[in-house]
Amino acid sequence: MQPHRHRLRGATDHRRRHERTACPAHRQSVSRSSQSRLRNLAFATRTVSETDTATGDLGSIERDLTLLGLVSMIDPIRAEVPAAMATVLAAGVKVDIVTGDFSLTALAIARQAGLVAPDGSPGGELVVVTGAQLATMTDADVLARAGAGGTVFSRVAPEDKVRIVDLLKASGRVVAVTGDGINDAPALRHANIGVAMGASGTDVAKQSAEIVLLDDSFASLVGAVRLGRTIYQNIRKGVLSCLTSNIAEFTVNSASLGLASAFGVPLALNVLQILAIDLLGEIFPIAALGRDPEEGETMRDEPRDPAARILNRRSLVDIVVAGGVMGLLAFANYLLLYSRNSVDPFVDVVPLTVLAQAMTITYVTIMVCQLVSITQRRSVHGFFTRYQFTNRTYWLAIAVAVAIMLVIVYVPAVATLFGTAPLGILDWAFVLGAALIFLAIREAGRVLVRK
């Protein structure tokens, strides 16, 4: 392997000198082939004496060579790459090309792949930085170029790739590096996410990476970004939905305990009814959110800050307001049921049947409003959107949740266990009215926030 490496290095080094010193015709030939996305390898010969080889100095050996010709090779870009590049750029991901290829070749490949200029204009000129220029640049300048995207780093060495990756990571960015060769291994190892090519990549590159693309397709990597964002959004919807009902339960229990302490009003919910909401009612729809497909806006958002959390100031305000409204509506239905039955819970001894119905309407109101809340959270466009019909599993889970709720209310043996009682048509009208009020407030809030 040692002689072969020397011959390859000699040919490569000569190619670099040839680009500087060859005759104009040869220069034009190299430029034309490079602009056609061809990689060029020069072949040259020279008779070497034993004295030359004894020194081991490649510089003295690789001189006065006679050029035999150029071999041009191409690794064609797949047809799906330009569309995938447009998708990932629209998602706010900054893309640079870092390669050991000649600058004209790298620039031609970047243009065909659809890489845009740092200012985002498709027709803008890409920035090219050669390895020699990179060596003279400060870390701040390199970071500015790489962080802006749309930069083609050509003729770079493995240590140059590592330098770029380390600077981007130190600035707080999440860096993904794709590569297939031995020279890419250090950068793959230093990146937050190393992505190696599975079909054409070397074993060293695969062992240095966290992800191996079996089809060597950039589009597959973009698909992984899309899937990751979708999974995160589904988890976020589930977490916020779960906490919303918890706030509603807290609101009802706080108000109920306050009235019980001050006026002796019975509690609006018992422990089993709370568990029925959390463990039997909402759990199936929330779990089904994991099968929600990508929404159209998923790949139009800027990359998420790694330090950002699902529970931030905005989301906390959202769940407190939504849960608070849900809880107040449920508690209002609790008190209104007493009024419809001509019972004053502040003065009278409440009959057990009426108390069971009052507790039931509280439980049912929270449950129905929670199902509305989960559905409304599924889409950035709210409740009334075609996206609501994209996940059949979700609606099956809704049906299961409603069936469980009806069993708890109307099956005598189960109702006795949970302390519930059957509701009449008028009671259900108040439940649905509360759900409509809740939905109207949520939709109005969504519109105001988007404005």
Which SS3 state, helix, strand or coil, does residue 48 take? coil
Enclosing H/E stretch for 261? helix 218-263
- Residue 152's pLDDT band (cuts 50, 70, 90): very high
What would the mean pLDDT of 74-90 be, rounded to a whole number? 84
Whole-angstrom distance, CA of residue 294 vs CA of residue 269: 38
CB-based contacts of 190, cutoff 8 Å, min separation 6: 162, 165, 166, 169, 177
Helix 218-263 and helix 81-90, axial crossing angle in degrees, nearest 10: 30
pLDDT at 112 (0 to 100): 85
**164 pLDDT above the threshold of 80:** yes
pLDDT at 9 (0 to 100): 35
pLDDT at 129 (0 to 100): 94
Scored b (16 or more CB within 10 A) or e, 85-111 reads bebbbebebbbbbbbbbbbbbbbbbbb
SS (H, E, C) 271-323: HHHHHHHHHHHCHHHHHHHHHCCCCCCHHHCCCCCCCCCCCCHHHHHHHHHHH
Give the least confident one: 60-74, 216-230, 271-285, 430-444.
Answer: 60-74
Whole-angstrom distance, CA of residue 436 vs CA of residue 424: 19
Predicted confidence (pLDDT) per residue in 234-279, tens digit? 999 999 999 999 999 999 999 999 999 999 999 999 999 999 999 9
What would the mean pLDDT of 170-177 be, rounded to a whole number? 94
pLDDT at 1 (0 to 100): 31
Which letter does DSSP use for residue 70 in this model?
Answer: E
Whole-angstrom distance, CA of residue 258 vs CA of residue 274: 18
Whole-angstrom distance, CA of residue 220 vs CA of residue 84: 9
Give the least confident one: 36-45, 371-380, 385-394.
Answer: 36-45
Which SS3 state, helix, strand or coil, does residue 215 take? coil
pLDDT at 4 (0 to 100): 30
Predicted confidence (pLDDT) per residue in 398-443, tens digit? 999 999 999 999 999 999 999 999 999 999 999 999 999 999 999 9
What would the mean pLDDT of 131-143 be, rounded to a whole number? 95
How many Cβ atoms sit within 10 Å of the Cβ of residue 133?
Answer: 16
Which SS3 state, helix, strand or coil, does residue 8 take? helix
- Residue 353's pLDDT band (cuts 50, 70, 90): very high
Predicted confidence (pLDDT) per residue in 100-129, tens digit? 887 888 888 888 888 988 776 665 688 999
Which letter does DSSP use for residue 196 in this model?
Answer: E
- Residue 17's pLDDT band (cuts 50, 70, 90): very low
pLDDT at 75 (0 to 100): 63
Mean residue pLDDT across the chain: 87
Give the least confident one: 22-26, 128-132, 147-151, 414-418.
Answer: 22-26
